């Protein structure tokens, strides 16, 4: 008779096994960084509490963070291919930490709003470096697992960040800047000490054979990549509502900040528990059909918010959205890195990150306007439609690539 406990243990051992020490050191740095992630999820309530912003006004300020993050992701991708992924991460984390400590002194809207833009630039310059480093820290056949481990570490940290942040902001909102800044600095120190001497630069651009079929030069000239990013943007417009406009909706409906923190922790906890075994089990499966299915599930998750069950509906929504994320995001990241040429991997990861930051610009602004003008239920219906649209585009990309 098969022992179910031993089977589960063996599954997790196989899911996490086989990766080099280097990949684990990188993941530890990502975890330390995300342990303090609380400024972005609580930025909307902070703007309401400390400055009296309306949902639309707060949405535009959070969108300004996304504008900065868009440029930061682009610059981070270019710098990754120039100075190396580790050096890029250390610089971005150190600057982010120092800037967040300075933001505790922003006591007026005139000082806070431009500071939010700069924070977006510094925070998201880190993303292309961490993805590129994880992708090249192991053999190609382990790339999907390595990138999933990196996401595991980020989500494990995210499970701590908003939860702890919910208690800190109940005391004083500015404590979230202190905690987030200190963990950024700690992550920078970890990478500097643990990865000293490892900062691989990309190989030079290869000379293309004139007789060979010409491949697109750069991510935005790669039509397949552009279609994937358009689909991803649709899904992210929906996905990001749960920690942008969604946190404001929950507070407005009477939930306390620390309860909202626990709601926001459901997603990363589930991702942390199940992403690695799921990715391990799907390692031989075609990525794009699964990505399309995951996008559809993300949209369905928001429709669960329409159920008349209070907290149970929110929990159900967070669980279903997490199931969709399990399929869509780790497989898409691995697919992008499998497609990216070695000399431009940072540029591809930077462009991939730009779709997240472009969505972070649009999601809070559009979400805030829809919520204020038409109410929360309309917002959740729109999220369901965006998930379905993204699924259709991913399915189209899969058909064209087949």
- pLDDT band (50, 70, 90) for residue 402: low
How large is the average pLDDT for residues 301-307? 93
How large is the average pLDDT for residues 330-339? 89
User: Tens of pLDDT along 315-325?
Assistant: 999 999 999 99
Q: What is the pLDDT of residue 210?
A: 47
Q: Flag whether 215 is in a domain.
A: no
Give the total number of structural domains in the chain: 1
How large is the average pLDDT for residues 288-294? 95
pTM of the predicted model over 0.75: yes
User: For the chain, percent helix, then strand, then coil, each to nearest 5?
Assistant: 80, 0, 20
- Its domain, for residue 73, covers 20-196+222-401
State yes or no: pLDDT of 154 exceeds 50. Answer: yes
Q: What is the pLDDT of residue 387?
A: 96
**CATH number of the domain that 332 lies in?**
1.20.1250.20
Q: What is the pLDDT of residue 328?
A: 92
State yes or no: pLDDT of 6 exceeds 80. Answer: no
d(CA 352, CA 55): 29
Question: Of 114-118, 184-188, 248-252, which gets the smallest average pLDDT?
Answer: 248-252
Round the average pLDDT of the chain to a whole number and report it. Answer: 87
- The answer to whether the CB of 142 falls within 8 A of the CB of 18 is yes
Q: Flag whether 213 is in a domain.
A: no
Q: What is the pLDDT of residue 208?
A: 55
User: Tens of pLDDT along 337-373?
Assistant: 888 888 888 889 899 988 988 887 888 888 988 998 9
User: Tens of pLDDT along 204-261?
Assistant: 666 554 444 445 567 888 899 999 999 999 999 999 998 778 888 888 888 887 788 8
Q: Flag whether 291 is in a domain.
A: yes
- pLDDT band (50, 70, 90) for residue 389: very high
Residues 371-381: b if buried by 16+ CB within 10 A, e if exposed = bbeeebeebbb
Q: Flag whether 5 is in a domain.
A: no
Q: Flag whether 50 is in a domain.
A: yes
Q: What is the pLDDT of residue 140?
A: 85
More confident residue, 383 or 7: 383
User: Tens of pLDDT along 84-97?
Assistant: 999 999 999 999 99
- pLDDT band (50, 70, 90) for residue 156: confident
Token representation of residue 144? 């999907």
Token representation of residue 313? 């509906």
Q: Flag whether 207 is in a domain.
A: no
More confident residue, 394 or 195: 394
Residues 6+ apart with CB under 8 A from 204: 343
- The answer to whether the CB of 314 falls within 8 A of the CB of 37 is no
How large is the average pLDDT for residues 182-191? 94
% pLDDT > 90, the chain? 38
The sign of the dihedral angle between the CA atoms of 381, 386, 389, 395 is negative
Please return the burial class of 116, using the count of CB atoms within 10 Å of its CB with bins 0-12, 13-18 and 19+: buried
Q: Flag whether 203 is in a domain.
A: no
More confident residue, 401 or 399: 399
d(CA 6, CA 67): 48
More confident residue, 236 or 108: 236
Q: Flag whether 14 is in a domain.
A: no
Q: What is the pLDDT of residue 305?
A: 92
């Amino acid at each position: 008779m098969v022992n179910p406990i031993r089977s589960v243990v063996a599954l997790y051992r196989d899911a996490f096994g086989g990766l080099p020490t280097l990949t684990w050191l990188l993941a530890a740095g990502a975890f330390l960084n995300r342990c303090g992630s609380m400024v972005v999820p609580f930025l909307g309530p902070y703007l309401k509490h400390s400055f009296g912003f309306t949902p639309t006004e707060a949405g535009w300020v959070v969108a300004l963070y996304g504008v900065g993050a868009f440029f930061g992701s682009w610059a981070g991708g270019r710098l990754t291919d120039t100075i190396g992924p580790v050096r890029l991460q250390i610089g971005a984390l150190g600057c982010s930490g120092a800037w967040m400590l300075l933001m505790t002194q922003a006591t007026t809207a005139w000082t806070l709003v431009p500071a939010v833009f700069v924070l977006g630039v510094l925070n998201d310059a880190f993303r292309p470096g961490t993805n590129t480093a994880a992708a090249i820290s192991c053999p190609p056949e382990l790339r999907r697992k390595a990138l999933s481990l990196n996401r595991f570490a980020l989500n494990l940290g995210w499970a701590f960040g908003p939860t702890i942040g919910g208690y800190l902001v109940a005391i004083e909102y500015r404590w979230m800047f202190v905690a987030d800044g200190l963990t950024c600095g700690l992550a920078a120190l970890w990478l500097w000490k643990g990865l000293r001497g490892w900062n691989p630069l990309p190989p030079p651009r290869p000379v293309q054979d004139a007789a060979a079929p010409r491949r697109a030069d750069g991510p935005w000239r790669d039509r397949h990549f552009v279609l994937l990013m358009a689909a991803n943007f649709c899904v992210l417009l929906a996905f990001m509502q749960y920690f942008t406009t969604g946190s404001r909706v929950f507070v407005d409906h009477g939930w306390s900040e620390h309860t909202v923190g626990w709601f926001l922790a459901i997603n990363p906890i589930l991702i942390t528990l199940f992403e690695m075994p799921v990715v391990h089990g799907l390692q031989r499966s075609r990525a794009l059909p699964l990505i399309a299915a995951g996008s559809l599930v993300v949209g369905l998750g928001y429709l669960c918010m329409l159920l008349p069950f209070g907290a149970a509906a929110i929990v159900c929504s967070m669980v279903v959205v997490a199931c969709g994320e399990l399929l869509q995001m780790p497989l898409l990241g691995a697919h992008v890195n499998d497609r990216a040429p070695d000399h431009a991997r940072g540029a591809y990861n930077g462009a991939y990150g730009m779709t997240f930051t472009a969505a972070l610009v649009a999601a809070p602004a559009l979400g805030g306007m829809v919520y204020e003008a038409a109410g929360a239920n309309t917002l959740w219906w729109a999220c369901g439609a965006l998930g379905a649209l993204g699924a259709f585009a991913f399915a189209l990309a899969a058909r064209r690539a087949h």
